Amino acid sequence: MGHVVLFHSVYGLRPATLAAADRLRAAGDEVTVPDLYGVPAAGTVEEGFALLGKVGEDAVLDRARAAVASLPPETVLGGFSMGAGVAGAVLANRPD
């Protein structure tokens, strides 16, 4: 199979995102799940947006770009909620 990167929602890296990655791995994919915040996940959407504000959108995108920098060009980028927007932003900068 291929390589997949899953970006988490505004809540941060939660068990649901890790479980989705495990299902893809069980199907034979290699999966990367970067923690774009570097802190425990939020419990509410308001707390999630506060984390995003604290970390900063530029830092989140820089971390996402760094997570995919060494991966093959055919890597599939995906995400949950905010993570889908991160995937789209990163995809726009991938040369291939």
The pLDDT assigned to 94 comes to 84
The pLDDT assigned to 95 comes to 72
The pLDDT assigned to 5 comes to 98
The pLDDT assigned to 1 comes to 77
3-state secondary structure of 32: strand
Name the amino acid, one letter, at 44.
T
pLDDT tens by residue, 35-85: 999 999 999 999 999 999 999 999 999 999 999 999 999 999 999 999 999
3-state secondary structure of 65: helix
CA distances in angstroms from 9 to 70, 74, 79, 88, listed in the order given: 23, 23, 7, 13
β-bridge partners, 78: 6
Q: Mean pLDDT throughout 82-94?
A: 93
Distance CA(46)–CA(43), nearest Å, equals: 8
pTM: 0.94
Residue 59 main-chain phi, psi, to 5 deg: -65, -40
